[in-house]
Structure 1
Amino acid sequence: MVYLLAAVNLVALGSLTTPVLAGIPLKIDDLMPADQRATALATVLTLGGLAALISNPLFGALSDRTRGRFGRRRPWMLGGAVAGLIGVAALSASDSLPAIMVSCVCIQTAFNAILATAAALLADTVAESRRAAASGVFTAAAFVGVLPPLVLTALLPRHVDLVSLVMPVAALAVVGVAMTVPDRASSALPTAGRGRRQTPVSRAFAAVWLQRLAMQSALSLATAFTLYMIIDRMTSDPVAATPIAMIAAVAGGAGIVIGAAFGGALASRLHRYMPFLVCGAVGLSIGASLRAVADVPIALWVASAVGGLAVGAYLAVNLALAMRVLPEGRAGTYLGVLSITETIPQVLVPLVAAGLMRLGQGDPFSGASDNYLVLYASAAVLALLSLATLPALRAASRPHRAIDARSAL
């Protein structure tokens, strides 16, 4: 069951990859003059980001309140898969900027509905003792999901519209199989009279949320403008810089997958979460620090791998801890809110990163005007600052206390 829900996560994230990275930019390039395409693309992607920001918690909350013969989560997963396939097909047929905008919003809304309800269904059905391991598999699958569309797009650059449909079709098939996962349709809705007793749990969830936001922001800062850094520090040639950047991305992604899978499994075996949160933050800080002084490809690749391993282990345990402190019957709402921590950095971090690189007297390693040392050092500091939330998570990280808190609601 865990692997089936992880497969849902994989195909949902994979379905977003080709449209966002290639389909929409190419459509806009065909329609818009060269001096207008950057603004048009930024507008479309911003609208899509806002749709993702809203839809994930929205559909999570709706699924908490859904009652019917098919359960709470499954109807929204299936509806998202169908709507997502329609949205991608509409994008392929789009011949105007408004049509592209509508298609992008539809795609983000639909597949985020799948992501929200799959995570909530995982929280509903996985036993407490297995949640860290399950979260590791679930998190790793999300990063694996971007690889097939990237490979297909690279192999078939002239058939992006066709490639864009591959993962949505797979998503419809996988979600169809996932309709067999037990869905607790009879779970009672949370009542107003239980609000006061949920306060300790809500406080712990707020700490989980803040820590994840800090870590996701640090990760975004640590990986921002990598290609430009390689050009300025290592190659002075965009063509030569591209494979170096791709290897760094693969090293970081592989690290996240391995860290999530093995870190989550080990946390479940040890029944301890706090060491993994600490190691994740410290590891990301080390990776960002190595990146801050990297001036040869091997140093960048090592930094990417170290940061990826740390982030993978952290994300698995953070998700498991979030599921542990959820109020009963509110998994969809709370996990949807948790997903916002991934969207906010996508919107804000590029602007913050651009400002940070203007600080100081330029980059001391390359002499370029963009100060990569300040950028990546800021990421290292922010990762360490995420540890400030640990006192609020100490009690929740102990299994017996977390279970007592849940049973008291």
Structure 2
Amino acid sequence: MSAPSITARTLASSAAIESVAAEWRALEQATPEATGFQSPAWRRSCDSSESPPRLVAIREDGRLVMLLPLQIRRICGATVARWLGEPLAQYGDALALPGPRRPAWFDAAQAEIAGWSDLDLLALSGLRADGVLAACGAPIVFGDPSKSAAPYVDLGLGLRRRRSVERRMKRLAAHGPLRLEAVAGAGARREAAEQALAFKSEWLRRRCRFSASLSDAEVVACVRTLAEKGALRAHRLWAGPRLAAVELGLRRDSVYRSLIGAFDPDLAEGAPGHALTVTLLPQLAGDGVTLFDFLPPADPYKLAFATGATAMGGLYRPFNARGAMAALVLSRLRPLAKDAIHALSDRGLPFDTLLRRFARAEEVLTASDSESLMPARKKFPPRAPTAI
């Protein structure tokens, strides 16, 4: 019997990507580790003029068996391939049929990517320890579990009472009876998304914080579109006639992932965000959800509810000195600077402007001339990409 034939192809044009849409959806459904962030719906809702898509399709004997949905963007003066849907998508991973052939498929995908003559860096962040690439044995570098892990609540363990939250919820109820609404209808979901974004923006302003993703007009438009189309679910917590908090998330099978939680900062004493979580968890459990995923990072308010956490990591593969400098900035310098600036802003110092400038590091960084940053040459010979 002959060995299975593995082929890799880069899909870059809209026509080529749409031609595999049905296979893409089927592969997502067949991937046990899929999180919802790799779906075709995200691609259609989050098209970006600055980050054109570039998919890597792996076939074995003609059948689509692995797909890496990527996008290309200029970052830190380098051409970087990262997951499609970033920075809004919180998890990145390949889609792949289960089985022992996955490492061979991933090798083929790496060889295809290494042949892109215009690429400086492959930056695969948001990788879960229980994801497809982890199962392939990819050299993922995992971060500090106290910061970069993804907390979750196993609803099968039962829901614990949180008396401190319940006491603060009484202050919220002073505005009227608490009512949780599962938002229905495209227009109402879009309105809920806009309300969540407005709450989040005001909270960031008051905390002297800056969000590189939520300050991006394309990301904001993507959130609205995803909610309107139903790819994101929406819940609202009301205190009498007053909107207290909004939750936007996505559900896949029995797992619910909380993407954006936001509340009215004027009601902060009543813990509206915690109140929304307390009321939402039992409703989701009654609707068949068994796991509530807070998504990274491992913030204290998430850990107050969590029953466990999944380790998170990244894989950075530079192809030249320019890519190595970009990898250093993205994987090490930017997170350190962000933590430091947030710590200072928590003390009342308005460093949001500095963070904004650092988040757009490509405006201030140029390619490095240091050959000490040059990685070992990739084992695959360079060639022109086979984009169609």
Q: TM-score normalized by structure 2? A: 0.23
**Greater share of strand:** 2
Q: TM-score normalized by structure 1? A: 0.22
**Greater share of helix:** 1
